[in-house]
Amino acid sequence: MARRITFMKAINEGLDMAMEKDERVILLGEDIAGGAGVEHLEKENEDAWGGVFGVTKGLMPKYGRERVIDTPISEMGYMGASVGAAATGLRPVPELMFNDFIGFCLDTILAQGSKMRYMFGGKAKIPMTIRTCHGAGASAAAQHSGSYYGILASIPGIKVVVPSNPYDAKGLLIAAIEDDNVVVFSEDKTLYGIKDEVPEDYYKVEIGKAKIKREGTDLTIVTIGKMLYVALEVADRLSKDGIEVEVIDLITVAPWDQETVITSVKKTGRLIVIDEANPHNNTATDIASVVGDQAFDYLDGPIKKVCAPNTPVPFATNLEQLYLPNADRVLETAAELIDDLKK
Amino acid sequence: MDKLTKERAEWIYKKMNDIRNFEDEVHQIFSTGSIPGFVHLYAGEEAIATGVCAHLTDNDYITSTHRGHGHCIAKGCDLDKMMAEIYGKETGLCKGKGGSMHIADIDKGMLGANGMVGGGFPIAIGAALRNKYLKTDDVAVCFFGDGAANEGTFHESINMASIWKLPVVFVNENNSFGEATPQKYASGSEHIADRASAYGIPGETVDGKDLTAVYEAAGKAIDRARKGEGPSIIECITYRNYGHFEGDEQKYKAKEGGEKKLADRDCLKEFRKYAISKKILSAKKADSIEADSVEDIEHAIKFAEESPIPKPESLYEDVFVD
């Protein structure tokens, strides 16, 4: 049996192994080591933080400050520098501390990194993995809790992955770093502590391929990131009533796995998408649109979305819990779809 | 720094002529409607691109601006393919999918014209970071306009280049206007180079119409960068012969005074006269370079006009590396 490690440790290990394998892999970000230039830390070759959550802890002492680069608080500067370094042959992995800071550096992704290959007639390669974190549930309030992977997923030329568990996190991160394109790797900050079995080897999880986490015949629930756990709880509860839910962990939101989702919907005839992002123009909306177009004749009811409301993330704990999609909300939605099954 | 030898003077004079002829022709052709989109012409600023790129090899990188044809030519990009790109043809440098504002050739170290004002700063320091990380002595040059100096990328990138002593030179082409707004109105400091002291790096303002002034300042700054001594800012005072874009009425340009005097200067004529007087260029050679250049640009136009438009399926190609 493989050892059990946390989501955070799995990401750290993925970075470590990718750096060990390829010297062109460098990390950049704010306090990803911490304490740059501090005499007593330099003397002991120690990092102060290893990132604000400690995800990159220990990598600077192992690989040095040339490869684990603490940047000034200058998101557009170091994100753009990562594009430049990637275009000229390195494989940078910049960390955007919270995805909510995307506004500071969006140009470098939206107008530069994602378009260079196309604009330059196929001559450029931008092998760059942007690590960032999203998600409500940590009482971090409106500017540190949003989920913006869907916004990034709407930009042509970038891939966006959202792992839900330690095994996928490590394998997806390695796949992202080996990928010759811009990949956004969005971590849910509330998952950092969860543990699961993770092999010690260097392995990849395929980008663009969803995983069926539970098979079922009556209802398909597609999830992104930690919404998987909501769906699994719903599936357990509905199973007691004899209703079998197929749960699909989307894993990649751009390009999302249409084949797996559509095949499942054709089997079950019912679809709920759970997406923590705000409800308009998000990934769930896109999935609903594509499934409506491709599998309309197989549907036994309307496609349902369970998302965050169209509000910023509130601070108060009770409101934040109301904001997040939960099993009760999904069950209410499921009830609308499966009334006929119960009868 | 390499001296301005005969060979180098001839190279520079050819490139200056290529840029001028290329831009004058594009100006004419654009008015006929054969070139689509937005075009920003570099004519009038030739001394800067050539005076800087004379010190660079294919291994050095540059980032450019929306006014990028001059940088492209000075960095050695193919004239035929450049013209075809501006025409939106399949044979273009970017297969017709970039156009004037995104013209690029990574094989030549040309990391792209850029439709985003100030977009080149962080890309240039990224290329410089790569050069330093791989322990090469290659440099990166970031060309930027006076308008770009007021973008946030200027601050973040130059500060980072300074703290990491990156091998990069920031070459400002202060052509007096950011679009239709005078630099004097838009900038709190009289000279953009004055800002260098805030980042603890050298900054120098030079006459951007004078090839030798640009050549010397760039040579010094590029040498410094190659030796690992860090970045510099060079501000080149210049003026564009045409408007911000083709079709600009240029109502903001002065009809007399110092600005008009700057506008009336011709950096090609000035360099020809200087180089002949210093015996690094003969009048005969200068004449033949001028004739060759006209011919080369005519060839480029013919190539572009005769080239096919991109195939429909190419719309979907090169979004990702497969």
From chain A, the residues in CB contact with B102 under 8 A are 115, 119-120
From CA B272, how far away is CA B277, in angstroms rounded? 8
Residue at token pair 């395929």 = A206
> How far is the C-alpha of B286 from the C-alpha of B290, rounded, in Å?
6
| Maximum distance among all Cα pairs of chain A, rounded to whole angstroms | 73
Mutate: best of B160, B162, B163, B315, partner A, most A CBs <10 A: B160
Please tell me whether residues A152 and A36 are part of one structural domain: yes
Judge: A74–B104 Cβ closer than 8 Å, yes or no.
no
pLDDT of residue A338: 85
B165 touching chain A per CB within 8 A: no
Is the distance from CB of A324 to CB of A137 less than 8 angstroms? yes
* Distance between A91 CA and the closest CA of chain B, angstroms: 10
Q: For residue A1, what pLDDT is reported?
A: 61
Task: Identify the domain boundary among A140, A165, A197.
Answer: A197
Q: Which of A40, A134, A144, A280 is catalytic?
A: A144
User: What DSSP string describes A61-74?
Assistant: HHH-TTTEEEPPS-
Is residue A177 domain-shared with residue A279, that is, in the same domain? Answer: no
A247, amino acid identity: V
3-state secondary structure of B302: helix
Can you give the pLDDT at residue A340? 60
For residue B112, list chain A residues with Cβ-Cβ distance below 8 A. 116, 119-120
Rounded distance between C-alpha atoms, residue B286 and residue B274, angstroms: 12
Which of B64, B133, B157 best tests the A interface by mutation, with the highest count of A CBs <10 A? B133
Partner-chain contact A87 B111, CB within 8 Å: yes
Neighbours of B31 (CB within 10 A): 11
Task: Classify burial at A229, counting beta carbons within 10 Å of its beta carbon; exposed 0-12, middle 13-18, buried 19 or more.
Answer: middle
- Contact yes or no for B123 and A87 at CB 8 A: yes
Residue A237, judged by CB atoms within 10 A of its CB (0-12, 13-18, 19+), counts as middle
Q: Output DSSP code: residue B305.
A: H
Please enumerate in sequence order all residues whose Cβ is within 8 A of that of A111, keeping only pairs 6 or more positions apart, or say none. B115, B116, B119
In a domain, A203, yes or no: no
Q: Show residues of chain A in contact with B129, CB under 8 Å.
A: 81, 84-85, 90
Is there a contact between B92 and B98 (Cβ–Cβ < 8 Å)?
Answer: yes
Compute the distance between CA of residue A214 and CA of residue A231 in angstroms, rounded to an integer.
10
pLDDT tens column, A40-66: 999 999 999 999 999 999 999 999 999
Residue A57 lies in a domain: yes
Phi and psi, residue A246, nearest 5°:
-95, 120
Which chain B residue is nearest to residue A112, measuring alpha carbons? B119
Domain boundary among A136, A162, A197: A197
Cβ within 8 Å, pair A120-B98? yes
Whether residue A139 is found in the same domain as residue A215:
no
Q: pLDDT below 50 — which residues of chain B?
A: none
Q: Which phi and psi (to 5°) does residue B269 adopt?
A: -60, -40
Per-residue pLDDT tens digits for A63-103: 999 999 999 999 999 999 999 999 999 999 999 999 999 99
Q: Does B316 touch chain A (CB under 8 A)?
A: no
Predicted local confidence at residue A184, as pLDDT: 98
Query: The tokens 């920003």 sit on which residue?
Result: B40
Distance in Å, alpha carbon of B287 to nearest chain A alpha carbon: 35
Mean pLDDT, residues A289-317 taken together: 97
The reply to whether A204 falls in a domain is no
Last residue of a domain, one of A173, A197, A221: A197
Cis peptide before A127 (omega within 30 of 0): no
Return the residue in A75, A120, A183 with the most chain B beta carbons within 10 A, the one to mutate for interface testing. Answer: A120
- Contact indicator for B236, B208 with CB cutoff of 8 Å: yes
Residues A261 and A328 in one domain: yes
Q: Are residues A160 and A254 in the same domain?
A: no
Token representation of residue B264: 């009336």
Q: Is residue A206 part of a domain?
A: no
DSSP result, A76-117 = HHHHHHHHHHHHTT-EEEEEESSGGGHHHHHHIIIIIITTHH
Q: Residue written as tokens 């004079």?
A: B13
Q: What is the CATH number of the domain that holds A226?
A: 3.40.50.920
φ, ψ at B171 (rounded to 5°):
-105, 110
Do A241 and A185 belong to one domain?
A: no
The CATH number assigned to the domain holding A66 equals 3.40.50.970
Cα atoms in the Cβ-side hemisphere of radius 13 Å centred on A143: 3
Q: Is the pLDDT of residue A341 over 70?
A: no
Q: Measured between alpha carbons, how far is B39 from B23 in angstroms, rounded to an integer?
A: 10
Both ends of chain B: CA-CA distance in Å? 43
Q: How far is B138 from chain A (nearest CA, A)?
A: 12
Comparing alpha-carbon positions, the chain A residue that sits nearest to B63 is A84
Length reported for chain A: 343
Minimal Cα distance from B81: which residue of A? A121
Give the pLDDT score at A28.
98
Name chain B contacts of A127, Cβ cutoff 8 Å. Answer: 321
Same domain, A89 and A219: no
Q: What is the pTM of this model?
A: 0.96
User: Is A134 in the active site?
Assistant: no
Under 8 Å CB pairs connecting chains A and B tally to 142
HEC readout, B52-77: HHCCCCCCCEEECCCCCHHHHHHCCC
Structure tokens at A92: 């940078």
A184 and A215 in a common domain: no
What is the distance in angstroms between the CA of the first residue and the CA of the last residue of chain A? 44
Nearest to B246 by CA among B11, B66, B65: B66
Give the number of residues written for chain B. 322
Distance (Å, rounded) from C-alpha A331 to C-alpha A337?
10
DSSP for B235-248, written as a single string = EEE---SS-SSTT-
| Residue A307 located in a structural domain | yes
In a shared domain, residues A147 and A223: no
Cβ contact (<8 Å) for B116 and A123? no
* Residue A327 exposure: Cα atoms within 13 Å on the Cβ side: 11
Q: Using CA atoms, how far apart are residues A28 and A84, in angstroms rounded to an integer? A: 13
**Contact in structure between B140 and B61 (CB atoms under 8 Å):** yes
User: What is d(CA B169, CA B224) in angstroms, rounded to the nearest whole number?
Assistant: 9
> In this structure, are A154 and A265 located in the same domain?
no
E-strand ranges in chain A read 4-6, 25-29, 68-70, 91-96, 128-134, 158-161, 182-188, 195-197, 211-214, 219-223, 245-249, 252-254, 271-275, 304-307
Domain-embedded: residue A205? no
- Residue A58, helix vs strand vs coil: coil
Chain B stretch 66-95, residues whose beta carbon is closer than 8 A to a beta carbon of chain A? 92-95
Quick check: B98 and A119 CB within 8 A? yes
pLDDT tier for residue A111 given thresholds of 50, 70 and 90 = very high
pLDDT for res A2: 76
Give the domains, in start order, of chain B with CATH numbers: 6-304 (3.40.50.970)
Q: Which two tokens stand for residue B251?
A: 């109502």
Same domain, A8 and A150: yes
Q: Enumerate the residues of chain B whose CB falls inside 8 A of the CB of residue A27.
A: none
For residues A291 and A188, membership in a common domain is answered with no
Taking contacts as CB-CB distances below 8 angstroms, the residues of chain B near A84 are: 63, 111, 122-130, 140
Distance CA B208, CA B215 (A): 10
Number of domains within chain A: 2
Cβ contact A36:A48 at 8 Å: no
Query: How far apart, in whole angstroms, are the C-alpha atoms of residue B110 and residue B124?
Result: 10
For B125, the closest chain A residue by CA position comes to A81
Domain of residue A314 covers 211-342
How far is B29 from B26, CA to CA, in rounded Å? 5
Whether residue A90 and residue B102 make contact (CB cut-off 8 A), yes or no, is no
Q: What is the ipTM of this complex?
A: 0.94
